[in-house]
Structure 1
Amino acid sequence: MRVDIGNNDIGILGLGVMGFNLALNIESKGFCVAGYENNSEHLNSLPVSSKKLNIFNDLLTFVRQLKTPRVVLLMITAGPPVDEIITKLRSFLGSGDIIIDAGNSYYKDSLRRQEHLKGYNINYIGLGVSGGADGARFGPAIMAGASSASYAKVQPILNEIAARTKNNDVCATRLGDSAAVGHFVKMMHNGIEYADMQIISETYGLLSKGLGLTAPKISDIFEGWSKTELSSFLIEITTSILRYIDDDTKVPLIDLITDNAEQKGTGKLAAIAALELGVAAPSISEAVSARILSSLKLERVNSAGIFQKPKNENNIELIDIKKGLLAAKVCAYAQGFAVLTSASDHYCWNLELAQVAHNWRAGCIIRAQFLDKVAAAFIEEPKLVNLMVSSHFSALLRQMIPSLRKVVGWAVAEGISVPVMSVSLSYFDTYTSRELPTNLIQAQRDYFGSHGHERVDKPGTFRTNWKN
């Protein structure tokens, strides 16, 4: 179908909170933006006052308003809705046009869609966008999977709207040719985010339930920590959350919020990807499980009436909790980057992990001072097998792990749940063990399934007649 040529630089399809804020961000940088929204009630509620932002509820009219090559950015629910809208757009777009999928699409779907659209000579970009609603409006971290030619056409817009570090570095980058890589890196960002948030919440639990501190007092502690190597967006917002007083009750709002942590599924997908690649990422998996268990409120309340918590007379020092938090964080990030390394090798993406860490330093949810050291570790040793064994982080962990042991031991004695701190310590201990008791598992497999086993004293694979 022939489509007329308009004068808008980009079209945003899906004007929910994220889509509309992205549109406002792009428009504020001097670009002309066409928006598409087919929900008439939502459409009428959008506060549009700019001449550079034009909104339509007819798809063909929307596409006609775009300059060539036409660039349509999708910000809609991942899954079948993306395939449905791509099928519709395909009738209106032509050779060389570009579809940018900026939602949380599953990376394997992105790979499939890119290959499908090649048959129509339509470019498909998988765009990871992190930073939430504020990030979309004022500067997100952007992770792109795209051909160099298609990315070059949209790079001026993406560079303008992306977050910038204190050194004015742009947090938008093309990570590889495959559309899948942009969404995979964003997915792993979210997996690390799950672990990071859970570790912080466990720390809050240690301080509140373990030491009996009030929310304002804990806020002061986190504020102090935010001026150290723990400085991050998540620590910063935790400080603000714990200090917030409810207008109606005049008590800290955090004390009134139910302890049911919801999820949208990206953490689960990150954990599944790690398992599929054969990479141990227990801190990410356990963070997902912790949210699932948090949703079982009634069951937890009932079981709490059956079992009593232990009483422990010992106490823990704040400095150990701080160091334990940092050690668990390092272990969780090490797992996330190990998954990225494995995926890059498996899919031949040639990911530069220092570039990934640099790109996460501003705009995204896990932005932190800590990431400068992560980037430096991969610059120093590009083929680094695990972040924990880098020169900087191995020295740091030698100082911090003893505190994590104290914290986990104290929490166990108190009956306080610290699942991700515990599993992070277990990951460290397993990864740094010369020998493990898993020789017994292999012997058991050989006993009931004749799977064979290797020996430490001679080469080869052996099968033993254990019943003889």
Structure 2
Amino acid sequence: MDAFEGLRRIGIVGAGSMGSMMALAFSELGLDVSIWDVKGSNIDSLLNKAKKIKSLKGCLDGNYEAEGFMKSLDQCPQRLFLFSITHGSPANSVLAQLHNQLRDGDIILDGENEHYCNTERHQRNLKGKGISWIGVGISGGYQAARHGPSLSPGGSEASVKRVLPLLEKYSAKNPKSNRPCVEYIGPHGSGHYVKMVHNGIENGMLSTMCGAWSLLNQCLGLTYNEIGNVFDGTAQDHVLSEVLDKVVQNFDDTEGTLYWSVMEAAQRHIVAPTIAAGQFLRVASGNRAQRLEVAKCLEKVPGLKQPRLSENDRNRFIEDLRPAVYASFLCSYCQGLELIARASAAED
């Protein structure tokens, strides 16, 4: 394959919502794909889905055991793995299971939202065996994983350069310039660090969106369709399509990047109130059962009275709200970028 010299097959660990979509995408690019998941039903679901897709070019081989998975990659002159499993203990367990079968020259792309310190620990532990561990931030959710995400690889520059042509082919493309949405971020755990902060920035933006929605609905009495029309075509519009997927994603502690961002900001003395408030309000949003119990106790308390505004006053309020939301978005970006700059200077 011209995208990556010597590569004909990629081994993917994890056939969940992200791993399965990436398997289909790489097959569509022409790579043969070996994929393994400890949960056999995930493999079954993927293979059934693949049968209905006519655009796949490479073979898609599902594996129910680690041994068969590794054996399918034995003849590859250059072995490339992609891990798409939950961060922390699950990732550690899988790596321990495969460790003795890994060999000099193997490259592992860690596509989960892993803590950057764990990424760097894996890099140190595998370096002596000649194995490259690249932490890759993957942005855009499972929809982008299928059709091309934004990627932020970090680790050994030489190893990243070896896989960069493939990542460029797989990644999303800028609609104006057609440039691939992927760039070498830097050494060590920088790729996962940038992805962590990216999620923190997004969290601040989503919290702002929720606040604006509440004002328009609870105070001005706008219907959902009217609120949609207010946001349609504005700077906020691109965020709306992802809200349902994101709003409770980390409440069960499977997504750590959001509170890691808050902890990093505090530890590095970065003022990040938009990012922090976004996380705390997100946790409050997840406590729905608790809120419903409190609501029962407050049933007899008079509710908020919607102000009686003229049409002109209402429209003026909405137009004032637009730049306020935009300014909050900018604050979230500035706070996140300052955090990245501070970390980059400290870790250099």
TM-score normalized with structure 2 length: 0.85
| Equivalent residue, structure 2, for 1:174 | 184
Q: CA deviation digits over 1:279-336, x for unaligned, max 9?
A: 1111111111112222132354156448656656676521101111111111111111
Distance 1:125 1:338 in 2: 24
Shift in Å, 1:122: 0.9
> Could you tell me which residue of structure 1 aligns to residue 23 of structure 2?
23
Structure 1 residues 65-91: Cα deviation after superposition (integer angstroms, max 9, x where no partner) = 222321111000110111111122221
Paired residue type of 1:334: C
The residue number in structure 2 matching 1:38 is 38
- Number of corresponding residues: 319
Aligned to 2:269: 278
Shift, 1:36, TM fit? 1.1
Superposition pairs of residues 84-99 of structure 1, within 5 angstroms: 84-99=93-108
Tell me what 2:231 maps to. Answer: 222
| Residue of structure 2 equivalent to 1:60 | 67
Q: CA deviation at 1:7?
A: 7.6
Q: State the partner residue of 1:198.
A: 207
Counterpart of 2:117 (choices 94, 100, 108) is 108
Contact 1:34 1:55 in 2 (8 A): yes
| 2:238 matches 1:233 | yes
CA distance 1:347–1:105, shift in 2 (3 Å): same
Does the 8 A contact of 2:7 with 2:79 survive in 1?
no
8 Å contact 1:8–1:34 — kept in the other structure? no
Question: Percent same amino acid among aligned pairs?
Answer: 30
- Equivalent in the alignment of 1:337: 337
Q: CA deviation at 1:121?
A: 1.5
Q: Could you tell me which of 151, 163, 170 is aligned with 2:160?
A: 151
* Matches of 2:121 and 2:103, distance apart in 1: 19
Residue 298, structure 1, aligned to residue 282, structure 2:
no
Work out the CA distance in 1 between the residues paired with 2:44 and 2:339. Answer: 44
Mark the CA change 1:128 to 1:43 in structure 2 (over 3 Å): closer, same or farther: same
3-state SS, counterpart of residue 44 of structure 1: helix
Structure 1 residue 156, shift from structure 2 partner: 2.3
Q: Does 1:133 align with 2:124?
A: no
2:250, 2:256 within 8 Å by CA — same for their partners in 1?
Answer: no
Say whether the 8 Å CA contact 1:260–1:297 is kept in structure 2: no
1:261–1:148 distance in 2 versus 1, CA, 3 Å: closer
Deviation at 1:273, TM superposition (A): 1.1
Structure 2 equivalent of residue 14 of structure 1: 14
How far apart, in 1, do the equivalents of 2:199 and 2:346 lie? 20
TM-superposed CA distance for 1:55, in Å, is 1.5
Q: Give 1:428's aligned residue.
A: none
Change (3 A) 1:262 1:183: closer
Report the alpha carbon displacement of residue 61 of structure 1 after superposing the two structures with TM: 2.3
- CA-based RMSD of the aligned residues comes to 2.3
* Alignment map for 1:400-415 (pairs within 5 Å): none
Q: Aligned-pair distance for 1:9? A: 2.3
The 1:231/1:299 distance shift into structure 2, 3 A limit, reads: closer
CA change 1:260–1:339 in 2 (3 A) is closer
Number of the residue aligned with 1:322: 322
Are residues 275 and 233 of structure 1, via their aligned partners in 2, closer, same or farther at CA, if it must alter by over 3 Å? same
How do 1:336-375 residues align onto structure 2 when only pairs under 5 Å count? 336-348=336-348
Contact 1:203 1:321 in 2 (8 A): yes
The DSSP-based 3-state class of the residue aligned with 1:284 is: helix
Whole-angstrom CA distance in 2 between matches of 1:224 and 1:44: 40
Q: Alignment partner of 1:174: what SS?
A: coil
The answer for the alignment partner of 1:73 in structure 2 is 82
Q: Give 1:153 shift.
A: 2.2
Partner letter of residue 133 of structure 2? Answer: Y
Q: For residue 192 of structure 1, what is the amino acid of its counterpart?
A: I
Name the stretch that deviates more: 82-91 or 159-168: 82-91
Contact 1:23–1:35, Cα closer than 8 Å, also in 2: yes
5+ long unaligned stretches in structure 1: 1-5, 242-258, 349-468
Q: Contact 1:204 / 1:218 at 8 angstroms: preserved in 2?
A: yes
- Is the alpha carbon distance of 1:28 and 1:336 closer, same or farther for their aligned partners in structure 2, counting shifts above 3 Å? same
SS of 1:126's equivalent in the other structure is: strand
* Aligned residues of 1:25 and 1:136 also touching (Cα < 8 A): yes
1:148 and 1:125 map into 2 onto residues whose CA distance is: 9
> Which whole-Å deviations, capped at 9, do the CAs of 1:99-136 have from their partners, x for residues lacking one?
11100111111111111111211110001101111000
Q: Any stretches of 5+ residues in structure 2 without a counterpart?
A: 1-5
Q: Which moved more, 1:309-318 or 1:205-214?
A: 309-318
- Deviation, 1:44, is 2.2
State the Cα distance separating 1:38 from its structure 2 match. 2.7
